[in-house]
Chain A
């Protein structure tokens, strides 16, 4: 087990290093670099100034050298400086990560709490009317474009019936109101983003739960458990659901990786100041340092959660062993 985990951690680290280099290379392929942008905004700049600036930022060096420099400064805890926001990346990331975590955690908990029972119910009565509508709902949830869902929610709840704010993270310019009032204010802004994220996740999770549960309830031991005269609840939850957990763990673990990478589309539409919007803004605005950190964080989270899922299998299913 320990050997397996160590090997997987090493593999994961290697993948992160390779991918971060690929990202770094891709970023260098984006049109224009920061100095080009300065030149565009300042007509007085001379060719010597440009050359001097480029060598100051190290932009005249080949990509792999710049990448090595970047890794070196990263390992010393220096994440760099955001060119758009004019603050060190550490300062920028902190509140953004917290905002994104808040949004994703609430919507994830909400959707698991709704989707898992829904999926189990419809798996227990396949072909029923409940199952039919559940199916329709979950297909709609998977198929709906997330940004469009967000726009429709804004049209409905902020334009037609102005109940909720159309976007933002909290009321701007207000005085600090104390902890609870502040929390109320924030949750007001969270309702629509959470709703739009949850509708999709419920669709996805309930479908997975349904098929996993359906598969589990087909096993012979379920019939045996019923024949033994066990109560319906014990059969469903202890024998059926326990076995449906394995595929569920995968999808849930993968969703947890989204806790810090954020939902780019939803955050962008709602102008929610989270990591997702930061990733988008920094890629569009050529803010290398910020974009690199955010991308590395999201990729690492996905890989880490894959690893966690693999380890959790062992607990969910004693038949799985790691050599």
Chain B
């Protein structure tokens, strides 16, 4: 972070050694966004942060596609394969195989019949015709698939793909219920990032509304709103969040209508976090509005007969957007941390919906059996929050007009 004077000094020294062409380029005015972008790209770690955030956003948007490509199910339990270590291949239990085979036989009776006959002919199974496919399914999955392929029947392709699903590859191992950790992390990304982004944007809007009302009208409105803001700011966050998370929202009649049981925990999380994170934005907005309230362009707008709402929205908001953007970015990281903390305590997002925080929920009891279960979600939380913090830092440097080096 160079101070203004230093930047000017450097510029003077530099221009003397520059060619005429470079100097002409220097003197060409750049649009604002280009300056901000150049400034931002200078902050290497902020750029890395932005890349990581985009990666996670893509993962959370395409979670469904990742699921269908890998064929993994975040809720599929498999008690036989608990605590598998990362990078292992597991085969599903016999009961699951039997139901799958039964479904196949019911769906395609003719081709099943053909396959059964062919299996017996080649001597691959030594049981009654009706049990042939079941017998094959109970063997090792790779062996069963190769025997099926050796039949060279066009009808067998469906069955082969069914058999292929009997074997699952677990990139990050499995958890205490035998669920695949990788796909749960992918879906957890969606929940955690979703809650973080939603809370940051919603609380920024609340803060914008309250801050601009307080700053523009002043007087009693300002005093009341700012006292409330100060009181909320002085609360110890975690204990209050725990109390809020522990209460039963359905006891409040006016909320009962909107909250449904399936998404209750996510909805509750967003509301609670919003309630306690709008204050910084409100103070920020109030401060900037106070500083521009008496400026000439506001007076000019008023003389032209603009309404209060027009003055606030058209003439004042553009002046607070930049610092708000920074505050939103930093807010996302903070909300993700709070969500993770509450879910870790068992008060946030309720299982089976995976979130990074609740995946750590029972990880502590399992540090002897499966330490990696505790490591992975935490690394993702750390990576995301640190990226958002660096992004916010980079944006702040880039947007701050005092720091702009032309």
Is A218 on the interface with B (CB-CB < 8 A)?
Answer: yes
Cα-based distance from A177 to B148 in the complex (angstroms): 73
Interchain CB contact under 8 A, A306 and B242: no
Interchain CB contact under 8 A, B341 and A155: no
Cα-based distance from A148 to B374 in the complex (angstroms): 8
Interchain CB contact under 8 A, B246 and A306: no
Are A151 and B363 also in contact (CB < 8 A) when A139-B390, A302-B235 are? yes
Cα-based distance from A287 to B388 in the complex (angstroms): 38
Is B354 on the interface with A (CB-CB < 8 A)?
Answer: no
A45: which B residues are within 8 A, CB to CB?
Answer: none
Most central of B243, B377, B389 by chain A CB within 10 Å: B243
Q: Which residue of A lies closest to B1 (CB)?
A: A126
A126: which B residues are within 8 A, CB to CB?
Answer: 1-2
Are A143 and B385 also in contact (CB < 8 A) when A151-B364, A280-B345, A283-B242 are? yes
DSSP class of B's interface residues: helix, strand, loop or mixed?
helix
Interchain CB contact under 8 A, A154 and B367: yes
DSSP class of A's interface residues: helix, strand, loop or mixed?
helix
Interchain CB contact under 8 A, B341 and A145: yes
Contact with A along B223-239 (1 / 0, CB 8 A): 00000000100111011
Stretch at the interface among B55-63, B182-190, B247-255: B247-255
Stretch at the interface among A66-74, A262-270, A313-321: A262-270
Q: How far is the CB of A79 from chain B (nearest CB, A)?
A: 18
Contact with A along B151-192 (1 / 0, CB 8 A): 000000000000000000000000000000000000000000
Q: Which residue of B lies closest to A295 (CB)?
A: B239
Pick the contact of A19 from B235, B242, B375 — CB < 8 Å?
Answer: B235
- B357-378 contacts to A, CB under 8 A, are 357, 360, 363-364, 367-368, 371, 374-375, 377-378
B243: which A residues are within 8 A, CB to CB?
Answer: 23, 26-27, 30, 283, 291, 295
Pick the contact of A302 from B45, B236, B242, B367 — CB < 8 Å?
Answer: B236
Interchain CB contact under 8 A, A261 and B239: yes
B364: which A residues are within 8 A, CB to CB?
Answer: 151, 154, 269
Interchain CB contact under 8 A, A30 and B235: no
Q: Which residue of A lies closest to B385 (CB)?
A: A143
Q: How far is the CB of A121 from chain B (nearest CB, A)?
A: 16
Contact with A along B1-25 (1 / 0, CB 8 A): 1110000000000000000000000
Cα-based distance from A126 to B3 in the complex (angstroms): 10
Interchain CB contact under 8 A, B374 and A155: yes
Cα-based distance from A32 to B238 in the complex (angstroms): 22
Contact with B along A201-230 (1 / 0, CB 8 A): 000000000000010001000000000000
Interchain CB contact under 8 A, A143 and B368: no
Is A234 on the interface with B (CB-CB < 8 A)?
Answer: no
A159: which B residues are within 8 A, CB to CB?
Answer: 367-368, 371
Contact with A along B302-345 (1 / 0, CB 8 A): 00000000000000000000000000000001000100110011
Is A140 on the interface with B (CB-CB < 8 A)?
Answer: yes
Cα-based distance from A298 to B241 in the complex (angstroms): 14
Q: Which residue of B lies closest to A210 (CB)?
A: B1
Cα-based distance from A265 to B248 in the complex (angstroms): 22
A interface residues, tally (CB under 8 Å): 47
Is A50 on the interface with B (CB-CB < 8 A)?
Answer: no
Are A26 and B244 also in contact (CB < 8 A) when A155-B367, A265-B238 are? yes
Interchain CB contact under 8 A, A29 and B248: yes
Interchain CB contact under 8 A, A299 and B378: no
Pick the contact of B382 from A145, A295, A302 — CB < 8 Å?
Answer: A145
Contact with B along A295-310 (1 / 0, CB 8 A): 1001100110010000
Most central of B45, B234, B375, B382 by chain A CB within 10 Å: B234
Interchain CB contact under 8 A, B333 and A143: yes
Cα-based distance from A140 to B244 in the complex (angstroms): 28
Is A147 on the interface with B (CB-CB < 8 A)?
Answer: yes
Pick the contact of A298 from B236, B247, B378 — CB < 8 Å?
Answer: B236
Cα-based distance from A302 to B367 in the complex (angstroms): 35
Is A191 on the interface with B (CB-CB < 8 A)?
Answer: no
Interchain CB contact under 8 A, B3 and A218: yes
Pick the contact of B234 from A26, A140, A295, A303 — CB < 8 Å?
Answer: A303
Is A176 on the interface with B (CB-CB < 8 A)?
Answer: no
Is A37 on the interface with B (CB-CB < 8 A)?
Answer: no
Q: Which residue of B lies closest to A31 (CB)?
A: B248
Are A306 and B247 also in contact (CB < 8 A) when A143-B389, A145-B340, A283-B242 are? no
A306: which B residues are within 8 A, CB to CB?
Answer: 234
Pick the contact of A268 from B236, B247, B345, B368 — CB < 8 Å?
Answer: B345
Q: How far is the CB of B41 from chain A (nearest CB, A)?
A: 17
- Residues in chain B within 8 A of chain A (CB atoms): 1-3, 45, 231, 234-236, 238-240, 242-244, 246-248, 251-252, 333, 337, 340-341, 344-345, 357, 360, 363-364, 367-368, 371, 374-375, 377-378, 381-382, 385-386, 388-390, 393
Q: A143-B337, A155-B374, A299-B236 are in contact. List 7 more A-B contacts (CB 8 A).
A: A19-B235, A26-B247, A139-B389, A139-B390, A143-B389, A214-B1, A279-B242
The 5 closest A-B pairs by CB, nearest first: A148-B378, A143-B385, A143-B386, A29-B247, A31-B248
Instruction: Identify 22 residue pairs between A and B in the complex whose beta-carbon atoms are under 8 Å apart, listed by A's number.
Output: A18-B231, A19-B231, A19-B235, A26-B244, A26-B247, A30-B246, A127-B1, A142-B385, A143-B382, A145-B357, A147-B340, A148-B378, A151-B367, A152-B378, A155-B375, A159-B367, A258-B236, A264-B242, A283-B242, A283-B243, A295-B243, A302-B234
